[in-house]
Amino acid sequence: MYVSFYRKIGRLLRKQEVYELIKEEQEEQIQNIINLEFQERVEDTDTQEPPSGTLLSELPLDILQSITKRMNLFDYMNFRLTCKRFHEVNPISQWRDYCRYPLFLFPKDSNGTYELLDPFENISRLITIPHISSNVLSSIEHYKDGWLLVRFGGRSLRYMYPFTFTPESWKYPPHILGSPRFGFSTCPTSSNCLTVGLCGLSTPCFDYSESPNGEWKFYDTEFNPEEDIAFQPNYKTGPKYHNNAFYFLGKEGCLGEFRSIQGEISWNVYKYPFTEDRDTLFDSCYLVELDGELVSVFIKATGRCLEMFKFDISNKCWIELDTLGDYILFLSTTSSYSLKAEKSEMANRIYLPRRKGNEIVFYSLDTRKYHTSGSADYGHDDLSGTKSQTSCCWIW
């Protein structure tokens, strides 16, 4: 086991790009370690452990950190578990330090086991979100800034880092009914983190808390049918925090804006992007921030039609989009992102919270077809044969 492990690290150390990251004055020291100890002794030995002086655990801290910077997230997680020193000197991983693109987190069973999947490297890892006392894990409600907001069956909420857990659960707000949609504004360790829950049937109302584990307050919207645009709460998608406000998509595509300024709440509704003679029925919808602007994506039943719009904040109207340019979208009901593609052939794609086997489904705006992460050359006109993934999120 040790020999195999050190061989793997030896190969990693010999890569030219590692040397480029390490300080110039350390290169001679590292080269001696590699050439005189790892390469000759470890590779020529099948059963013996490396002799004293060649153990990775004895390398200087800055060299160890230089090694880990070249690992993907999954190798890094395993590296931390190798020995006590590696665990102590390497911090809990930050996703963006080890991943080029977001990872997909989805449930494997009803016992709190989730799979963390990198669709681009075709690797994954199982993680467990334990139950709180006798409560049953219900769903992931939101993900932002490295934190999950998890809703439990016993009517409680909890902020969670995917591998460590906060000590206290958070009771449900008193007015929430049915299947609400929650979101929070910033890292929950911040004292000014605003958490909002959308509820209501025919008209929206909100429970909100202006600090983590703070008291819940209630806000009921008013509707004047002669002046206001109707907004029916939509629980198929979650909110997007953008420009200091929460934005929600209604059942017919209307955009709702919930804003809190020094405790004063405002609620505004902007008309849906479809023309009057257009069918507004859709199976799923998503909000994402793209290059500083809000973008909505609507997918109709079976995926036969996918439409995309950009919100013009100045004129309070939607503009239809037919391309993403150099960008990629990663969409789910709990977290959505836009990133510039590292390679041109990966641009203009929309990754969806759907799987075919263990591959993620994406829509190409170049081919106007659906593909999977492992077979981009073969496309489908609809989403038949794919599975919609609930209680999932993109981690970034």
265 with 259: CB under 8 angstroms? yes
Extended beta strands in 91-231, E state: 103-107, 113-118, 123-128, 137-144, 147-152, 156-161, 164-165, 170-171, 181-184, 195-199, 205-209, 217-220
Q: What percent of the chain has pLDDT over 90?
A: 29
Are 158 and 230 part of one and the same domain? yes
Q: φ, ψ for residue 222 (rounded to 5)?
A: -110, 145
Which pLDDT does position 13 carry in this prediction?
Answer: 43
Residue 20's pLDDT band (cuts 50, 70, 90) = very low
Are 135 and 146 part of one and the same domain? yes
Most confident stretch, 54-58, 90-94, 118-122, 270-274: 270-274
Number of domains the chain contains: 3
Are 250 and 171 part of one and the same domain? yes
Three-state secondary structure call for residue 362: strand
Which pLDDT does position 97 carry in this prediction?
Answer: 62
Q: Cα(19)–Cα(153) distance, rounded to whole angstroms?
A: 51
Please tell me the least confidently modeled range out of 49-58, 259-268, 278-287.
49-58
More confident residue, 102 or 135: 102
| HSE, side-chain direction, 13 A CA sphere, residue 215 | 3
Q: What percent of the chain has pLDDT over 70?
A: 66
Q: What is the mean pLDDT of residues 211-239?
A: 86
More confident residue, 82 or 316: 316
Are 261 and 239 part of one and the same domain? yes
**In which element (H, E) is residue 380 found?**
strand 375-380
Lookup: tokens for 315: 């004129």
Q: What is the mean pLDDT of residues 199-227?
A: 86
Considering only CA atoms, which of 22, 20, 80, 21 is closest in space to residue 56?
Answer: 80
> In sequence order, what DSSP letters do the residues of 308-330 get, joined into one string?
EEEEETTTTEEEEES--TTEEEE
pLDDT at residue 18 is higher than 80 = no
Considering only CA atoms, which of 75, 137, 76, 78 is closest in space to residue 111?
Answer: 137
Q: Cα(313)–Cα(291) distance, rounded to whole angstroms?
A: 13
CATH code of 187's domain: 2.40.128
Please tell me the least confidently modeled range out of 59-68, 113-122, 242-251, 343-352.
59-68
395 with 335: CB under 8 angstroms? yes
140 with 334: CB under 8 angstroms? yes
More confident residue, 302 or 40: 302
Are 177 and 265 part of one and the same domain? yes
Mean of all residue pLDDT scores within the chain: 77
Are 285 and 380 part of one and the same domain? yes
Q: Cα(361)–Cα(87) distance, rounded to whole angstroms?
A: 35
Question: Which of the listed residues 247, 272, 297 is the one where a domain comes to its end?
Answer: 272
Q: What is the mean pLDDT of residues 214-229?
A: 87
Q: Cα(49)–Cα(1) distance, rounded to whole angstroms?
A: 9
225 with 181: CB under 8 angstroms? no
Lookup: tokens for 350: 């929309």
Which pLDDT does position 191 carry in this prediction?
Answer: 84
pLDDT at residue 244 is higher than 70 = yes
Q: Cα(317)–Cα(330) distance, rounded to whole angstroms?
A: 24
Lookup: tokens for 127: 């993680």
Which pLDDT does position 331 carry in this prediction?
Answer: 96
Most confident stretch, 65-79, 176-190, 325-339: 325-339
Question: How deeply is 234 buried, as exposed, middle or buried, from its count of CB atoms within 10 A (0-12, 13-18, 19+)?
Answer: buried
pLDDT at residue 210 is higher than 80 = yes
Q: What is the mean pLDDT of residues 51-69?
A: 63
Question: Which of the listed residues 272, 293, 311 is the one where a domain comes to its end?
Answer: 272
Dihedral sign, CA of 71, 72, 78, 84?
Answer: positive
Which pLDDT does position 40 carry in this prediction?
Answer: 42
pLDDT tens for each residue of 159-179? 887 666 555 667 777 766 666
Considering only CA atoms, which of 330, 334, 341, 361 is closest in space to residue 147?
Answer: 334
> What distance, in Å, lies between the first and last C-alpha atoms of the chain?
33
Which pLDDT does position 81 carry in this prediction?
Answer: 63
Are 81 and 103 part of one and the same domain? no
pLDDT tens for each residue of 339-396? 999 888 899 999 999 998 888 999 999 999 999 987 655 788 999 889 898 889 998 8
Are 154 and 250 part of one and the same domain? yes
Q: What is the mean pLDDT of residues 121-142?
A: 69
Q: What is the mean pLDDT of residues 63-71?
A: 66
Q: Cα(67)–Cα(57) distance, rounded to whole angstroms?
A: 12
Which pLDDT does position 245 carry in this prediction?
Answer: 96
Which pLDDT does position 202 carry in this prediction?
Answer: 79
Are 247 and 313 part of one and the same domain? no
Virtual CA dihedral for 285, 286, 287, 289, nearest 10 degrees? -140
Are 252 and 375 part of one and the same domain? no
> In sequence order, what DSSP letters do the residues of 52-74 get, joined into one string?
TT--GGGS-HHHHHHHHTTS-HH
Question: Which of the listed residues 240, 272, 304 is the one where a domain comes to its end?
Answer: 272
Are 254 and 302 part of one and the same domain? no
Are 332 and 363 part of one and the same domain? yes
Longest C-alpha distance within the chain, in Å?
84
More confident residue, 2 or 146: 146
Most confident stretch, 215-224, 324-333, 373-382: 324-333
pLDDT at residue 92 is higher than 70 = no
Lookup: tokens for 109: 């069973």
Considering only CA atoms, which of 150, 125, 122, 120 is closest in space to residue 135?
Answer: 150
Q: What is the mean pLDDT of residues 232-237?
A: 86
Rg value, the chain, Cα: 24
Question: Which domain covers residue 319, as residue numbers?
Answer: 99-108+115-125+281-396
